[in-house]
C-alpha cells in the first residue's frame, strides 16, 4: 500500500490568502437555504475588517476569541477571521447551559464573544471576568461592551 506524503511548507495565512485571491468571485460559504452568502472576496473584506477591529480594541495575537452559535456562514467567517488574525478560537456548543458558557468564557479568558443573539439571552454578563465585547453573529454588531472605569 502506497503512503501519501504531506507537505507543510506553506503556513495557514499564506494558503488562505492564495485561496481567497484565486476564487475571489466564487461563493465561499452560505447558510442552509442561502440566507447569508459570501464570496471569497466578501470573506477577505470581512476578515480585514475584523483584524482592524481587533487591533483597535488591543486584542493581541494569542488572545482568546469565543464563538457561540449554530453552524452558519457568519460562524465560519468569525472563526476564520479570528484564527487568521492569530487569536486562539474557543468554540462553545450552543447546547451548553448558560452557567457553563460563563464558566468556559472565564476559564478560557476569552476577550471577545461572537454569539447568536438568542443564545445570549439569560447569560449573566456581570459574571464575565475577561470578556470585554460581545458581537452578534447575526450582523456582526456589538451587542454588549464592558465599560472601562476611568481613573480620577
> pLDDT of 94-129, one tens digit each?
999 999 999 999 999 999 999 998 999 999 999 999
Asked whether residue 3 is assigned to any structural domain, the reply reads no
Question: Is 27 within the bounds of a domain?
Answer: yes
4 within some domain: no
Asked which of 12-16, 82-86, 110-114, 140-144 is least confident by mean pLDDT, the reply is 12-16
Task: Give the residue-averaged pLDDT of 57-61.
Answer: 96
Tens of pLDDT, residues 9-58: 668 999 999 999 999 999 999 998 878 899 999 999 999 999 999 999 99
Within a domain: 30: yes
Residue 65 has pLDDT above 90, yes or no: yes
pLDDT above 90 for 142: yes
75: domain CATH number?
A: 3.40.50.980
What confidence score (pLDDT) does residue 91 get? 97
Write down the pLDDT at residue 147.
82
Establish if 117 belongs to a structural domain.
Answer: yes
- The pTM of the full predicted model, rounded to 2 decimals, is 0.89
Q: Is residue 124 part of a domain?
A: yes
Provide the domain count of the chain.
Answer: 1
Residue 20 resides in a domain: yes
Q: 3-class secondary structure for the chain?
A: CCCCCCCCCCCHHHHHHHHHHHCCCCEEEECCCCCCEEEHHHHHHHHHHHHHHHHHCCCCCCCEEEEECCCCHHHHHHHHHHHHHCCEEEEECCCCCHHHHHHHHHHHCEEEEEECHHHHCCCCHHHCCCCCEEEECCCCCEEEECCCCCCC
In a domain, 122, yes or no: yes
For residue 107, what are the domain limits? 12-145
What is the pLDDT confidence band of residue 3, given thresholds at 50, 70 and 90? confident
Amino acid at each position: 500500500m502506497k503512503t501519501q506524503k504531506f507537505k507543510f511548507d506553506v503556513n495557514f495565512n499564506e494558503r488562505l490568502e492564495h485561496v481567497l485571491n484565486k476564487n475571489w468571485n466564487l461563493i465561499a460559504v452560505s447558510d442552509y437555504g442561502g440566507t447569508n452568502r459570501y464570496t471569497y472576496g466578501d470573506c477577505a473584506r470581512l476578515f480585514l475588517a475584523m483584524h482592524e477591529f481587533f487591533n483597535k480594541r488591543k486584542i493581541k495575537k494569542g488572545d482568546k476569541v469565543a464563538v457561540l452559535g449554530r453552524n452558519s456562514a457568519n460562524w465560519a467567517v468569525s472563526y476564520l477571521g479570528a484564527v487568521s488574525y492569530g487569536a486562539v478560537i474557543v468554540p462553545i456548543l450552543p447546547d451548553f447551559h448558560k452557567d457553563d458558557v460563563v464558566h468556559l468564557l472565564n476559564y478560557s479568558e476569552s476577550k471577545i464573544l461572537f454569539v447568536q443573539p438568542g443564545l445570549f439571552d439569560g447569560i449573566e454578563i456581570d459574571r464575565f471576568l475577561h470578556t470585554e465585547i460581545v458581537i452578534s453573529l447575526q450582523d456582526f454588531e456589538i451587542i454588549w461592551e464592558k465599560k472601562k472605569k476611568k481613573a480620577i
